[in-house]
Structure 1
Amino acid sequence: MSFEPSFPPMLDGRAVPEPPFDAAIRAAATGAEAGLVLYDPSAADLAVSLVLVPEVPIEDSAVMLPLAGVALQNALGALGPAELPVHLGWDGTVYVNGGRCGRVRAAVPETSPGAAPDWLVLGAELRFRPVGDGGEAPEETALHAEGCGDLTPMDLTESWARHALLWIHGWEEDGVAPLHREWSGLARGMGEPIEVAGRTGTFLGLDERLGLLLKTEAGATEALPLTELLEVR
């Protein structure tokens, strides 16, 4: 008997027999309402997407990308083994016990600076089963190799959506500061050399919009906005 995730009233969960991120983009582009959650119940790994309709400029609504990562860490913290180390890369990569395990991503339509996008789709993906014997790519990992053998993609689908909704409500009520603190505490590579968005330097921290502050090799500090990470569809 398959497990069907349960979602709060403000979310509309629907199963799709295809990659949920692409399906969510098509749904959003044709007028889907905010709160649509799409997932593939037959997938061996986590693949879930959430449609949003932002009311703030793209520069502000881009914080939904790190929000999706925080929600995923919170979901794993609630369901996975105690003390399971989960960290977040600014580019959306999700690390479990030091190995790459998945990612969060976000897509928007072409949007002018200062304007709110017509829609924004969040996606969360996590690998459950190791590829091969796990030795081919030692920098990669999977949840079932990290003590999460009892966890299923549908468990995490439900939990991620609930935590994302909680963080969105918190952002609407309290602004970006709580999200800034939470994400900073989960950041991977803070204070270390990093290569991201075609640039290299030292990861100093985040600005007020959760953009990355990068100290270049020349000693200058450069701010990389989150909008650089959005996939334009």
Structure 2
Amino acid sequence: MSTLSFPPLMYGEEVSADAFSHACMKATMGCDAGMIAHAFAPNRMEAALVFAPEVPLRRAMAMLPLCGVGFQNALGALAPPEVAVHLGWDGTLYLNGARCGGFRAMASGTDPEVVPDWLVIGVALPLWPETDRPGDTPDQTTLYGEGCPDVMPPQLVEAWARHTLHHLNSWEQDGPRALHADWRGLAQSLGEDITQGAASGTFVGVDEDFGMLLRDADGDTRLIPLTTLLETAS
């Protein structure tokens, strides 16, 4: 088992697998906010952070892009400078333009206007290809496949915690403006034609709560709330 070092108000629990489910279970049981479940396998790392929001869910979902920005900062500090990290609106991580794991979210409820008891944001990152023919999936990659063999998962999780806490403090004290600016600089497909769920159009930006703004061929703009990405317990 790894002994990780976390900043004040955060603490870790290592599990053998499925850090996200473990964090959701502990959140349901009433664990303190700041708990980070983490799991390390030879070809995959996982981590999940428990939040206790004090704002309605539609605003609290900003923790999804916030955790993404924190992860980009962490990996950017540990990886070679030529490794480009971008963030998909739906939580997907991109390394050098290819998909490489991503983020997911679950909360105690799904009503956007209700303050949830808890919110969990999880991240999973593939380390090595699962096949000896990675060229079969050119749109997907792995951490070590992009030239990051010296990035150790435990140190990456520790760095993610530190950078995420920094952005969280800024968001709580100064509002979302800085987070919006940071995220826009890392956003994948911004300004491009995309398909999100059943909707298609040009990804023109996000609203105050990071809802996706899609403009269709007729010039009409559709809002897709970030809460649509929430997973529900099976």
Tell me the TM-score normalized by structure 2. Answer: 0.95
Matching residue's letter, 1:52: F
Match of 1:68 in 2: 67
Match of 1:218 in 2: 218
SS at structure 1 position matched to 2:140: coil
Match of 2:227 in 1: 227
Please give the alpha-carbon distance, in whole angstroms, between the structure 2 residues aligned to 1:228 and 1:112: 11
Q: CA RMSD in A?
A: 1.4
Match of 1:127 in 2: 126
Matching residue's letter, 2:146: E
Give 1:121 shift. 0.3
State the number of aligned residues: 232
The answer on 1:26 being equivalent to 2:3 is no
Match of 1:84 in 2: 83
Give 1:7 shift. 0.5
Give 1:43 shift. 5.2
The answer on 1:204 being equivalent to 2:198 is no
Structure 1 stretch displaced more, 51-60 or 212-221: 212-221
Match of 1:58 in 2: 57
Answer yes or no: is the 8 Å Cα contact 1:86–1:97 preserved in 2.
yes
Please give the alpha-carbon distance, in whole angstroms, between the structure 2 residues aligned to 1:107 and 1:114: 15
Give 1:18 shift. 2.3
Structure 1 111/228 Cα, relative in aligned 2: closer, same or farther at 3 Å? closer
Give 1:71 shift. 0.9
CA-to-partner distance for each residue in 1:184-205, whole Å, 9 max, x for gaps?
0001111111111321111001
SS at structure 1 position matched to 2:128: coil
Structure 1 stretch displaced more, 49-58 or 111-120: 111-120
Match of 2:99 in 1: 100
Match of 2:164 in 1: 164
Match of 2:34 in 1: 35
Give 1:109 shift. 1.9
Tell me the TM-score normalized by structure 1. Answer: 0.95
